Amino acid sequence: MSLIEIRDLHATVDGKEILKGIDLTIEAGEVHAIMGPNGSGKSTLSYVLAGRDGYEVTSGQVLFDGEDLLEMEADERARSGLFLAFQYPVEIPGVATTTFLKTAVNAVREHRGEGALDAMQFLKFVREKAGALNINDDMLRRALNVGFSGGEKKRNEVLQMAVLEPKFAVLDETDSGLDIDALKIVADGVNALRGAERGMLVITHYQRLLDYIVPDHVHILAGGKIIQSGDKTLALELEEKGYASFVGAEAA
Amino acid sequence: MAQPVPFLEDFDAVLPGAGTGWLDRLRADAQEAFRKSGLPTPRTEAWKYTNLRRLARTGFVAAEANQTTEVTTVPEGIVALEDAYVAVFVNGRFAPSLSSLDGLSEGVEATSLAAKLSADRTSLEGQFSDVTDLPMATLNTGLLSDGLYLKLDDGVALDKPLHLVSIGTAGEEPVSFHPRHLIVAGAGSVATIVESHVGSGAYFSNSVSEVSVGDGAVLNHYKLQNEGPEAYHLAANLVRIADRAVYDNFVLQVGGNLARNEIRSELGERVECRLNGAYLACGEQHIDNTTFIDHAAPNSSSREVYKGVLDENARGVFQGKILVRQDSQKTDGHQLNKTLLLSPGTEIDTKPELEIYADDVQCSHGATTGELEEEPLFYLRARGIDPQTARGMLVAAFVGEALDEIQAEAPRAAFQAVVDDWLESRSERQG
């Protein structure tokens, strides 16, 4: 059984069809990258998988660990082990980062039958993970993402992935807005989470991120469809020739 | 034939201090004024959004004439303060057996106004403000009888908060009472006063609090309105803040059938005035916060943050006026009102008003009203948090921003607990 299996997925936003038949299978232990120009449907795919309201699946199927993903609410998907690292993490004034993390971790743990962590256990657990991402206690005390720099927000996303220990993670343009140092920290964090049990889908516009998070497979998304798939060399080829040559080939 | 005047028609109780000339005149003049004005109606601008029609139809009996109900314990729902002086009032009358005012330091006088009026016929003459433009406060003056009298001498610091607990209680007959509280904080004094208003049955509390904050004094004044579900609560707070004083006020309204808290503050020079609050309402509740900040002298600052959460068919009113007089240069005044509407049956009327006659001032005001935003909700849910918990977290965060304004730590935590309870019972109702 594959970790995730997307079959002929069509989806609309505000009545407009954005995804026009996506087929993609990811096995546990694999990292796939989806590259595509603006407007190709990259973010729509990530929101459809995460279950955001307003992204309507009109046909197709997604199996997650053999279960019908599209039947689940957004929070059920997350508890079942799906994780979306947001391109634009949301600022939530008045909710302390630690409180948020603890609520999320315990929701997921209870779903797995592991029992909730108490305040002390949780603090120990989160500090271990946070240290590796250069996130200090001060950042954890602050309101969620409020006043965080671009890099801090992305590190916080990776921290959330680290503490929630998902089976499958979608990283939506995790490189956007990052300078090279921040990118390295984030990529190291992601790489540390690669494992035989875990699959990842890295969505990006630029090849740069894939120098740091090296994928097993690369797909090119254009016009709501995957138009070409290959290994990591496809990303380099794309970088060299530009999207136009690939998209043009499809159109022709 | 003349219409009967509510509350005054059959009132024949003998009020404390009766027979004292100035006091008799004060009451008689106020009664006369109220006979003329009657209850305010929505035709009056100040009462446009809060209609007392149902209150007027309820046949309240004066608490003085109805002393059948007895209260032997302080009910739940008051602000939980570990260590405080407590002054309890039952239907507006001081209840010594429920109070604990022992150990007050020298220079602090805390007593019942009725006792003060009966024992000492002169010292309070001229201490009561003219409230003729406030009909309900005028009625209060007309029937002025009991309340808290608190006086802090110059330079005195109260070593722990004074907790004023008002308990309303009614049996079969609806009961009305008109407490009058007088708080005088001398120059350079420091004190924290907390009020809790609770009760059960159909009662009407029509209170007036007069607060005088002396030169350079620091007064924290926090109020919880957690009246019973059938109660009416109308309160006028008249606050005079002398030069260099700090007044930190917070009002949390969660109870009552219909409630209005009105604050009128007059600021001296170099004053720091903070009027903040929150209101949480559900069912058919109607909650009104009306404030007036009068920058009557230069170089003062005022800050006002009111946040509301309305659910089911609740209705909220916020009327906030800031007046900056011509000579009040270098005034810094900021006001914000935000309301979260959790269901389509709710309604908020918000009326911020700035009236500025000085030219060198910094003033701002803002009001927003809306539902919970989808984006943060989705973010929380995308981390495995169920929608009900996620909503609860966002509502708590919203109210938390107002609670953060409370400067004194222990009361802030106690008010936070009241808000947490409210949110919990809300999610249970939905559960």
Q: Which pLDDT does position B365 carry in this prediction?
A: 93
Q: Look at chain A and count its residues.
A: 252
At residue B309, φ and ψ (nearest 5 deg) are -130, 120
- Containing H/E element for B279? strand B272-281
CB contact under 8 A, A90 and B386: no
pLDDT in tens, B389-413: 999 999 999 999 999 999 999 999 9
A205 contacts: CB under 8 Å, gap ≥ 6: A35, A36, A37, A38, A42, A173, A176
ipTM score: 0.96
How far is the C-alpha of B36 from the C-alpha of B135, rounded, in Å?
10
pLDDT tens per residue across span B3-20: 567 888 878 788 999 999
Across B227-247, average pLDDT:
98
Q: How would residue B66 be classed by pLDDT, with cut points 50, 70 and 90?
A: low
* A106 contact residues in B (CB cutoff 8 A): none
Token duo for residue B275: 């009027």
What is the pLDDT, as a whole number, of residue B68? 60
Judged against a pLDDT cut of 90, whether residue B71 lies above it is answered with no
Tens digits of residue pLDDT in A65-119: 999 999 999 999 999 999 999 999 999 999 999 999 999 999 999 999 999 999 9
Phi-psi region of A3 (alpha: psi -120 to 50; beta: other; left: phi over 0): alpha
- Does B389 contact A at CB distance below 8 Å? yes
Identify the DSSP state of A152. H
Q: Which residue has the higher pLDDT, A178 or B243?
A: B243
Rounded CA-CA distance B137/B124 in Å is 18
Whether residues A53 and B374 touch (CB distance < 8 A) is answered with: yes
- pLDDT value at position B1? 41
A10-22 burial, b if ≥16 CB within 10 A, otherwise e? bbbbeeeebbeeb
**What is the arithmetic mean of pLDDT over B37-43?**
94
Residue B63 pLDDT? 87
Q: Which residue from A52, A90, A104 is facing B385, i.e. has the nearest CB? A: A104
Instruction: Tell me how far CA of residue B318 lies from CA of B47, B135, B252, B260, in angstroms.
Output: 11, 19, 13, 10
Write down the pLDDT at residue B221.
Answer: 98
Say if CB A117 and CB A104 are below 8 A apart: no
Percent of chain A with pLDDT over 90: 88
Residue A207 C-alpha, separation from nearest chain B C-alpha, in angstroms: 27
* Number of compact structural domains in chain A: 1
Q: Is the pLDDT of residue A249 over 60?
A: no
Q: Least CB-CB distance to A104: which of B384, B396, B397?
A: B384
Give CA–CA dist B295/B302, Å, rounded: 8
C-beta of residue B414 within 8 angstroms of C-beta of residue B359? no
Q: Is the pLDDT confidence value at A251 over 60?
A: no
Partners of B390 on chain A (C-beta within 8 Å) are 75
Domain membership of residue A128 as a residue range: 4-251
CB contact under 8 A, B383 and A73: no
Nearest to B281 by CA among B361, B341, B331: B341
Whether the CB-CB separation of B273 and B245 falls below 8 Å is answered with: no
A104–chain B Cβ distance below 8 A for any pair: yes
Could you give the residue ranges of the DSSP H alpha helices within B103-162? 113-119, 135-142
pLDDT for B14 equals 86
Share of chain A above pLDDT 70, in %: 98
Structure confidence at residue A252 (pLDDT):
39
| Distance, CA of A57 to CA of A49 (rounded, Å) | 10
Tens of pLDDT, residues A112-121? 999 999 999 9
On average, the pLDDT of chain A sits at 94
pLDDT tens string A35-61: 999 899 999 999 999 999 999 999 999
Over residues B270-292, the mean pLDDT reads: 98
- Start-end of H helices in B120-265: 135-142
- β-bridge pairing B272-281 and B301-310: parallel
Task: State residue B3's pLDDT score.
Answer: 58
Task: DSSP letter for B326, please.
Answer: T
Give the CA angle between residues A204, A32, A197 to the nearest 5°. Answer: 130
pLDDT average, residue stretch B348-376: 95
Is pLDDT larger for residue B310 or for residue B71?
B310
Nearest to A92 among B381, B382, B397 (CB): B397
Q: Which of B338, B379, B391, B420 should we substitute to test contact with A (largest number of A Cβ atoms within 10 Å)?
A: B379
Other C-beta atoms lying within 10 Å of the C-beta of residue A77:
26
Can you give B347-377 as a three-state secondary structure string? EEEEEEEEEECCCCCEEEEEEEEECCCHHHH
The answer to whether the Cβ–Cβ distance between B380 and A111 falls below 8 Å is: no
pLDDT for the residue A250: 52
Q: What percent of chain B has pLDDT over 90?
A: 89
Q: What is the pLDDT of residues B308-341, one digit of tens each?
A: 999 999 999 999 999 999 999 999 999 999 999 9
pLDDT-based confidence at B430, cuts 50/70/90? confident
Find tokens 């949301």 and name the residue: A90
Q: Does residue A199 contact residue A26 with C-beta atoms inside 8 Å? A: yes
Which is nearest to B235 in space by CA: B246, B221, B219?
B221
Q: What is the pLDDT of residues A111-144, one digit of tens each?
A: 999 999 999 999 999 999 999 888 999 999 999 9
List, in sequence order, every residue forming a beta bridge with A44; answer none if it has no partner. Answer: none
For chain B, the domains span 21-372
- pLDDT value, residue B427: 78
B379 contacts in chain A (CB < 8 Å): 86, 89-90, 92
Mean of all residue pLDDT scores within chain B: 94
Give the C-alpha separation, A243 to A204, whole Å.
13
Alpha carbon B34 to its chain centroid, in Å, reads 22
- For the beta carbon of residue A53, count every other beta carbon within 10 angstroms: 12
Chain A within 8 Å of B371 (Cβ-Cβ)?
Answer: no
Q: Tens digits of per-residue pLDDT, B74-99?
A: 999 999 999 999 999 999 999 999 99
Cβ-Cβ contacts under 8 Å, A53 against chain B? 374, 378
- Residue type for B129, please? S
Contact B233, B202 (CB under 8 A): no
**How many interface pairs between A and B have CB atoms less than 8 angstroms apart?**
71
Residues 119-178 of A with CB under 8 A from B: 143, 160, 164
Check which CATH number belongs to the domain holding A228 and give it: 3.40.50.300
Output the pLDDT for position A1: 87
